[in-house]
Structure 1
Amino acid sequence: MAAQSEPPVPMLERSFEVVAELGPLEDHGMTRAGHRRIIPVTGGTITGDFTGVILDGGADWQTVRSDGSIEIDGRYSARSDDGSLMYIRAQGVRSGDPAVLEALLRGEEVDPAAYYFRAALTLESADHPEFERSLYVASYVREANRVRYVAYRVT
């Protein structure tokens, strides 16, 4: 009888960093999906394994939960220095003490250790299919007019 092997333990490998510039929050109020907010993505940069610019036209479609936590559904595109495109979808959650979440909403500087802001990323690129062959997770910092995150490839 063959010995059973243990599955590999996943590790995180830093892949790229995104700085996304944000437009004004659009508060749609209570919809059938919940309290809906949309935040336009107006530009930014991406550096690391994929380097280029974040294109205007994306957005973060948010649903605010009753406890103040936010379900994140960000979708936007980047154009690399070589002209290739990447579509990025980030699905995650931002949560924390209600006072901390309110301070973030007001655009105040808050220590990222004071709240939880993580997402799973789905990447698509015809010119860089290597990004489509792995899973990625990201850890975020929310600032007044932008969001920054580091994306890690799950090995």
Structure 2
Amino acid sequence: MTLPVPALDPAFDVVVDLAPLEDHGATSAGHRRVVPILGGQVTGGVEAEILPGGADWQLVRHDGTIEIDGRYSARTASGALLLLHARGLRTGAPEVLARLGRGDDVDPADYCFRTTVSIETAAPELAHLQRSLFLAAAERRASSVRYRAYRVG
């Protein structure tokens, strides 16, 4: 029996506006950083405004790879609320990661920034989002993150 090869279908785009990084240093879990979320937009298959108050709770590995754990809410024009949870990795060559750490603009082809995205909502018209797995390719800018999410089919 042959297993199906998953397909990736463009689903939506996200731009998340970020506050300055909070470096918590070496905690019991590892080198912890928190990046507060100020707002942003979800566009494409879903249209919503990202609400302030979420954050990306990061762990920095010894090799510079960052474990991403972002959680934030968004509201559609009709008032429906979405909870987005992005988990993944940002990694690359040490010199590229250093440039990103300084806030330099770096071509996203020069590093790997990938997340899975899950969505939770009580809105019946958006319930289909909860039955999908999304894989995203992301870009880190000085004060924002941009990603395109693909529905895994």
1:32 aligns with 2:28: yes
TM-score (norm 1): 0.95
Give the secondary structure class of the aligned counterpart of 1:100. Answer: helix
Residues 110-135 of structure 1: per-residue CA shift (max 9 Å, x gap): 01010000001111011111001111
Shift of 1:7: 3.0
**Which aligned pairs between 1:1-155 and structure 2 lie closer than 5 A?**
4=1, 6-127=2-123, 128-155=126-153
Identity, in percent, stands at 54
Stretches (4+) displaced over 6 A: none
Which one has a bigger Cα radius of gyration?
1
Shift of 1:58: 0.3
Structure 2 distance, partners of 1:10, 1:90, is 20
Give the secondary structure class of the aligned counterpart of 1:130. Answer: helix
Shift of 1:64: 0.2
Structure 1 distance, partners of 2:94, 2:138, is 18
Structure 1 distance, partners of 2:96, 2:31, is 19
Structure 2 distance, partners of 1:116, 1:94, is 6
Name the aligned partner's letter for residue 40 of structure 1.
Answer: P
- Listed as ranges, the gaps of 5+ residues in structure 1 are none
Name the aligned partner's letter for residue 11 of structure 2.
Answer: S
Give the number of aligned pairs: 151
Deviates more, 1:124-133 or 1:19-28: 124-133
Structure 2 distance, partners of 1:8, 1:134, is 16
Structure 1 distance, partners of 2:79, 2:151, is 23
RMSD (CA atoms):
0.8
